[in-house]
Chain A
Amino acid sequence: MTEPVRVHLRVPGTTPMPDLMKLIDSIEAAGFDGAGILDSQMISRDTFVVLGQAAARTTRLGLFPAVTNPFTRHASVLASAIQTVEEMAPGRVRFVIGTGYTSASTIGRKPATLAEMRACIAAVKTLLAGQSVDWDGTPGRLGYISGRRIPVLMAASGPKAIEVAGEVADGALLLVGFNRGIVERALEHLERGARRSGRRVDDLEVIWAVRVGTAATTAEARRSARPTAVHWGILRWGGHWLEPAGIRIPKLEIPDAVWKITPISRTLPTGRRRSRPRRSFQTTSSPSCATRSAWSARPSIARTASRR
């Protein structure tokens, strides 16, 4: 038999823990290789609590945060958390970290910079290796490492982030699109980063994020894919990965009606960004959180609706 295809599934902690654990059970029973637990503190139950509970009731399933970030927890807390989970699921745990998306936007901040990613990944890897990290003059190490390796992967979507992942992490979770041209281009960036640290892509674990949907018919599945295709393929990364996929689209104009629903200008590339202010989203009671995302806009929308 050829090398098997491993399949992991994203699990949002949006249902009560008892239901969530039944879902974890079903994922392991179905034959999945791993479960990635969403880390978005305002939307999903705590990633590491869920991972710990899942570790205690599974025997085979790989487990990882999907994905955590370097700003809602200190690097020492992240290392402690994943090391603790690993004690409950020896050899089944990965650590996956990215720049943050809704974990950032729901608390009114921007995703982490690549410099922050480098620093956090370096600190976590050092701690998990049983070595000491210098915290502004205060050295510290984990007092309870297992000695088993916990791979540290970086989630990446853009070329620079992919190269950083190849350079500093044990592997990469690539959110780029599932297309031959895209895969080849992404691997070029990953290889470029790996070379900076004297490695090759073959030295890294690479996980490919794939957007999926199931439906009774292909037409229905395509229909359900459209919002995701527009958001991820065009708006969020400016269509960067369309060219290697051989896709050309005309200049995108966002109708005013859409602006009133979701504040997406932050994600638009230069040249497609609208200059008009998004005042319609600045009516929440917490100005610092206003206009950050559709999530921050939802309370104001709900209040508007209730007044009608």
Chain B
Amino acid sequence: MTKLGVRNLYLMPFQTFAPPEAEVHTFRDVVFPRLSAAGLR
């Protein structure tokens, strides 16, 4: 997707009206480190 120029994401958690605490933790602990390792952060 990055080859198509997709580099700007807006995350919309499935639980629309619940605080996205799980997503905060997951991206902090798992996703962002992986993006960093791939040179994308």
Instruction: Report how far A99 CA is from B25 CA in the complex, Å.
Output: 31
Option from A1, A19, A212 in Cβ contact (under 8 Å) with B39: A1
In the assembled complex, A143 has its CB within 8 A of some CB on chain B: no
Contact A212 B24 (CB under 8 A): no
Q: Which of A1-15 contact B (CB under 8 A)?
A: 1-12, 14-15
Instruction: Report how far A11 CA is from B15 CA in the complex, Å.
Output: 11
Identity of the chain A residue whose Cβ is nearest the Cβ of B4 in the assembled complex: A183
Contact A5 B9 (CB under 8 A): yes
Contacts of A180 in B (CB 8 A): 1, 4
Q: Which of A56-80 contact B (CB under 8 A)?
A: 66
Q: Give the shortest distance, in Å, between B19 (CB) and chain A (any CB).
A: 5
Instruction: Report how far A296 CA is from B21 CA in the complex, Å.
Output: 28
Contact A183 B11 (CB under 8 A): no
Contacts of B40 in A (CB 8 A): 2, 4-5
Q: Which of B1-41 contact A (CB under 8 A)?
A: 1-2, 4-28, 31-32, 35, 39-41
Contacts of B2 in A (CB 8 A): 2, 5
Contact B13 A206 (CB under 8 A): no
Q: Is the interface of A mostly helix, strand, loop or mixed?
A: mixed
Q: Which of A217-259 contact B (CB under 8 A)?
A: 224-225, 227-228
A184-212: contact bitstring with B at CB < 8 Å (1 yes, 0 no)? Answer: 10010000000000000000011111111
Option from B8, B19, B21, B32 in Cβ contact (under 8 Å) with A206: B8
Knowing A2-B39, A180-B4, A187-B4 are in contact, say whether A12-B10 is a contact too (CB < 8 A). Answer: no
Contacts of A34 in B (CB 8 A): 10
Contacts of A207 in B (CB 8 A): 8-10
Knowing A3-B7, A178-B1, A212-B23 are in contact, say whether A14-B14 is a contact too (CB < 8 A). Answer: no
In the assembled complex, A114 has its CB within 8 A of some CB on chain B: no
Q: Give the shortest distance, in Å, between A299 (CB) and chain B (any CB).
A: 17
In the assembled complex, A113 has its CB within 8 A of some CB on chain B: no
Identity of the chain B residue whose Cβ is nearest the Cβ of A206 in the assembled complex: B8
Instruction: Report how far A29 CA is from B19 CA in the complex, Å.
Output: 16
Contact A6 B8 (CB under 8 A): yes
Option from A2, A27, A43, A208 in Cβ contact (under 8 Å) with B10: A208
Contacts of A9 in B (CB 8 A): 10-11, 13, 20, 23-24, 27
Contacts of A228 in B (CB 8 A): 14
Knowing A31-B28, A31-B32, A214-B22 are in contact, say whether A4-B10 is a contact too (CB < 8 A). Answer: no
Q: Which A residues are within 8 Å of any B CB, using their own CB?
A: 1-12, 14-15, 19-20, 23, 26-27, 29-32, 34, 36, 38, 43-44, 66, 173, 175, 178, 180, 183-184, 187, 205-214, 224-225, 227-228
The 23 listed contacts between A and B (C-beta, < 8 Å) are A5-B41, A6-B8, A7-B32, A8-B9, A9-B10, A9-B23, A9-B27, A10-B12, A20-B19, A26-B24, A30-B24, A38-B17, A175-B12, A183-B1, A183-B6, A184-B4, A207-B8, A208-B6, A208-B10, A209-B10, A212-B13, A224-B14, A228-B14
Q: Which B residues are within 8 Å of any A CB, using their own CB?
A: 1-2, 4-28, 31-32, 35, 39-41
